[in-house]
Structure 1
Amino acid sequence: MTQDSTAPAPSPRSASDPQAANAERLRDVDYLPPLRKAIPLGIQHVLAMFVANATVPLVIAGAAGLSGADTVFLVQMAMFVAGVATLVQTLGLGPVGARLPIVMGTSFGFVPVMIPIATTQGLPAVFGGALVGGLAMATVGLFYRRLSLFFPPVVSGTFVLLIGLLLLPVGFSYVGGGFGAADFGAPHHLLLAALVFVITVAFHQFGRGFLSEAAVLIGILVGCVAAAPLGLLDFSRVGEAAWFQLPIPLQMGITFDPTAMLAIALMAVVTCAESIGDISGTAIGGAEREATPRELSGGVMADGLASTFASLFGGFPQISFSQNVGLVAFTGVASRFVVAIGGAFLIVAGLVPKLGAVVSAIPAAVLGGAVVIMFGMIASAGVKMLSHATFDKRNMLIVGVSLAVAIGLPAQSGLYAAAPAQVGVLIESGLIPGAIASIVLNLVLPR
């Protein structure tokens, strides 16, 4: 296996310090750890995103009024498609794929756009729009080298910082018991999340070797053990789920509505900023180097083509999962083969619904104790990326205005209440107006 020319050269310290040498080896994206370590580390990545990946189809199915069988099928396809997309992203397929430790999954960013389309024009229109949107995203990736001037370190670093900051409220909603929980904020949820948080931090900081690398997995397992006597582990879905089910293309249908195609394609193009930020954050936080133009181009193409593939199998638009970017930075394990193992596990979960039902039984508060750390690590990776930019008054203005727009504007919905519904959806995301602000300011402000 060849190592990327941009990877750091072995340090003199690593030659005499076995522990430092091992940490340096784990930062190599082309290094495959022993399977006894690689398999649980890959499963750890799946646990970090499994419930979130299943949440989007559950929300869309509820809004569209689907039957229980159709809902189960959408969740199953979310796992299968994410696994296939992860393998393409990590292992590569010609020019497609970043070949970095990136876990793919269903994007939350499209939910506000897809819900009104699903309720008014039907779910087939959503899949038609997602197919076109995926092709639009892949086109941006194909021509990324010509568009790279739009994404210097000050812009991509701001993206990653915004992703981490805007995900933190989501993480703390898990801490409280999850969205819409009847007992949200109950003491048992907070104590479970605190337990997982403490265990994860303790193993990460004081553990050695594998115990440190698998800190998140250990924290989640301890949390599940603690949740069992509280009656918070619900395995009823396991008995109801089938043992095996093959993916069926176009089972949910597909139609091409102009409004749906335009709305989702616009969201897909803007979402490329998030994808570029995640890819850059993975390279910085995991391999401790900048992402190369080839990695960024291939990564965005993989996002787009995976979204198009997903639409044919009843899946929703795909993108790199930000919590797994934080997990790579947190564990220090940047092996793309570790994440590929996680992708294979996702495919199995998509083919064996019972396995998916077992993992989805993890309580939200248990996940919350882990994801708040990972979301915070994403923000830290953004700060690290920004450190590569000169902090003169121009770049400080770009970062400051982007943060102000992304965080402040969505908090005051009355300011854009009179805007068209689709514009309001874009503003409400926070990330999109923040990304647009950083790109535009970088282009118009004198250097």
Structure 2
Amino acid sequence: MTAETLNKSVETDAAADPERGDRSADIDYMPPLTQAVPLGIQHVLAMFVGNVTVPIILAKAVGATPDQVVFLVQAAMFVAGVATLVQTLGIGPVGARLPIVMGTSFGFVPVMIPIAQAYGLPAVMGGALVGGLLMAGAGLYIRRINFLFPPVVTGTFVVMIGMILLPVGFAYVGGGFGAADFGAPRHLLLAALVFGVTLVFHQFFKGFLAMAAVLIGLLVGYVAAIPLGLVDFSKVGDAGWFQLPQPFAIGIEFHAAAIVAIGLMAVVTVAESIGDIAGTAIGGANREPTRRELSGGVMADGLMSSFAAVFNAFPQISFSQNVGLVALTGVASRFVVAIGGLFLIVAGLLPKLGALVSTVPNAVLGGAVVIMFGLITSAGMKMLSRIEFNKRNMLIIGVSLAVAIGLPAQKGLIAAAPDSLQTILESGLIPGAVIAILLNLLLPRGGVEEEHH
């Protein structure tokens, strides 16, 4: 990704006719509120379950009380909302100013669970605070490390993200991880209904109805789920009306093991962050991201992860399913996503509202996310289409995907490795990203350079 190419893409985008009929690919376009609000809520619905699942998993891992679980979920929503505003609107050099939804990262979970069990959640918060600062530093010096992430690496990483997330999407289709009736016909039929409605509205309707296809599919599935007994409104009745964020309520401690493990994960996650930023720019605005967008986006990921540690939440990252949603709807307005961020903040302050959104059944969500996860993979392929498919690049892509997809599928291969190493390898994303970066650095180019269009 050369500076000339990036500058050219910015000039082309800036020169776009503001009066053109279709401005959906314009990141600075503000649709009418009657469209922007539901489109923003659509983004929240797409990421909500994933965002609150991480604190629930960690809370259960340490035997937290139900009240503590609710507190952690509320913190996750509030922090995700603030982080989304920073990422979309920007503060000085921080923030990509792209339609990127932020949320709690699943990638850190395998690393955080053993730390939480050994040292407690305060140690996780300490490691996350330091790891976030390391990631922000990587964003600040993106010019010096950008050579590590050419299109062949970032495109491969986006493909990895989509492919690794697809099994998660189908787990939702079956009723969610650990569901007692996993795979029951009612789950599969609900998911199929949402899937079908979403595709019909996306492909056969125009304008707002096409852009809101996912939201319409989710609403139809939600209504259909009520008579099936899959919507539990008791969570709404039990939730409070208002709750202010409380900094350092969980506490914070600094342990070397936690700092090293989470810090390493934070640095490697830069590749995921760059991949999501690139995927959003390619899928939404049909251009590569600028260096300022990459730098600001990675800095926002890092600083918001440190902010999250202060406010009792876990590391933040751009949400890949929302990258797919941007590609699916074709709406690239960062202000639409900012509205979603405001909704998340409100949900974090009003537990009843957050509880209502959390009643969306997993199967309903699954019918929509399988489409979005598939589109993430497509966005990665689109990024890779901009490079030269010579034998060097094909080897980087093939080997990286083989490691990222194959290694987690056969966990017995790494059973003899130390637990800390196992948690890193089992993620798939980390070893896949490391392999892609190393191969790109070590393999000779053979006189055939990558093409950047």
- TM-score, normalised via structure 1 length: 0.96
2:417 corresponds in structure 1 to 419
**Whole-Å separation in 1 of the counterparts to 2:350 and 2:175:** 27
Superposed, 1:254-265 pairs within 5 Å as 254-265=252-263
Give the AA of the match of 1:206. F
Q: Tell me if structure 2 keeps the 8 A contact 1:8–1:289.
A: no
2:101 corresponds in structure 1 to 103
Aligned residues: 437
Q: Tell me if structure 2 keeps the 8 A contact 1:310–1:318.
A: yes
**Whole-Å separation in 1 of the counterparts to 2:211 and 2:38:** 10
1:5 corresponds in structure 2 to 11
Give the AA of the match of 1:158. T
Is 1:444 aligned with 2:442? yes
Percent identity among equivalent residues? 73
**Whole-Å separation in 2 of the counterparts to 1:7 and 1:197:** 33
Higher mean C-alpha displacement, 359-368 vs 419-428? 419-428
Is 1:327 aligned with 2:328? no
1:227 corresponds in structure 2 to 225
1:338 corresponds in structure 2 to 336
**Whole-Å separation in 1 of the counterparts to 2:83 and 2:38:** 20
Distance change >3 Å, CA 182–CA 22, structure 1 → 2: farther
Partner residue of 1:434 out of 412, 432, 435: 432
Is 1:48 aligned with 2:46? yes
Q: 1:5 offset after TM fit, Å?
A: 2.5
2:399 corresponds in structure 1 to 401
Q: 1:7 offset after TM fit, Å?
A: 2.0
Partner residue of 1:90 out of 72, 88, 96: 88
1:153 corresponds in structure 2 to 151
**Whole-Å separation in 2 of the counterparts to 1:5 and 1:34:** 26
Superposed, 1:157-306 pairs within 5 Å as 157-306=155-304
2:371 corresponds in structure 1 to 373
**Whole-Å separation in 1 of the counterparts to 2:88 and 2:185:** 40
CA displacement, residues 15-42 of structure 1 (integer Å, 9 cap, x when unaligned): 9xxxxx443x110101101111001000
Q: Tell me if structure 1 keeps the 8 A contact 2:46–2:365.
A: yes
**Whole-Å separation in 1 of the counterparts to 2:50 and 2:142:** 29
**Whole-Å separation in 1 of the counterparts to 2:112 and 2:98:** 29
CA displacement, residues 352-386 of structure 1 (integer Å, 9 cap, x when unaligned): 00000000000000000000000000000000000
**Whole-Å separation in 2 of the counterparts to 1:101 and 1:421:** 37
**Whole-Å separation in 2 of the counterparts to 1:382 and 1:208:** 26
Distance change >3 Å, CA 9–CA 391, structure 1 → 2: farther
Give the AA of the match of 1:192. L
Q: Tell me if structure 1 keeps the 8 A contact 2:10–2:290.
A: no
**Whole-Å separation in 2 of the counterparts to 1:5 and 1:188:** 51
Q: 1:67 offset after TM fit, Å?
A: 1.1
Calculate the aligned-residue CA RMSD, in Å: 1.3
**Whole-Å separation in 2 of the counterparts to 1:109 and 1:139:** 20
SS in 1 for 2:103: strand
Distance change >3 Å, CA 260–CA 77, structure 1 → 2: same
Gaps of 5+ in 2: 1-8, 446-453
**Whole-Å separation in 1 of the counterparts to 2:54 and 2:371:** 22
Gaps of 5+ in 1: 16-20
**Whole-Å separation in 1 of the counterparts to 2:347 and 2:13:** 34
CA displacement, residues 66-110 of structure 1 (integer Å, 9 cap, x when unaligned): 111111110000000000000000000000000000000000011
Q: Tell me if structure 2 keeps the 8 A contact 1:410–1:429.
A: yes
**Whole-Å separation in 1 of the counterparts to 2:14 and 2:349:** 39
Q: 1:10 offset after TM fit, Å?
A: 4.8
Q: 1:118 offset after TM fit, Å?
A: 1.0
**Whole-Å separation in 2 of the counterparts to 1:57 and 1:50:** 12
**Whole-Å separation in 1 of the counterparts to 2:434 and 2:99:** 27
Q: Tell me if structure 2 keeps the 8 A contact 1:242–1:352.
A: yes
**Whole-Å separation in 1 of the counterparts to 2:393 and 2:316:** 31
Q: 1:333 offset after TM fit, Å?
A: 0.1
Higher mean C-alpha displacement, 338-347 vs 404-413? 404-413
Q: Tell me if structure 2 keeps the 8 A contact 1:285–1:329.
A: yes
Deviation beyond 4 Å, 4+ runs, structure 1: 8-11
- TM-score, normalised via structure 2 length: 0.95
SS in 2 for 1:226: helix
Give the AA of the match of 1:39. V
Give the AA of the match of 1:401. V
1:18 corresponds in structure 2 to none
1:35 corresponds in structure 2 to 33
Partner residue of 2:312 out of 306, 311, 314: 314
**Whole-Å separation in 1 of the counterparts to 2:257 and 2:136:** 20
**Whole-Å separation in 2 of the counterparts to 1:215 and 1:302:** 30
Q: Tell me if structure 1 keeps the 8 A contact 2:151–2:384.
A: yes
Is 1:351 aligned with 2:349? yes
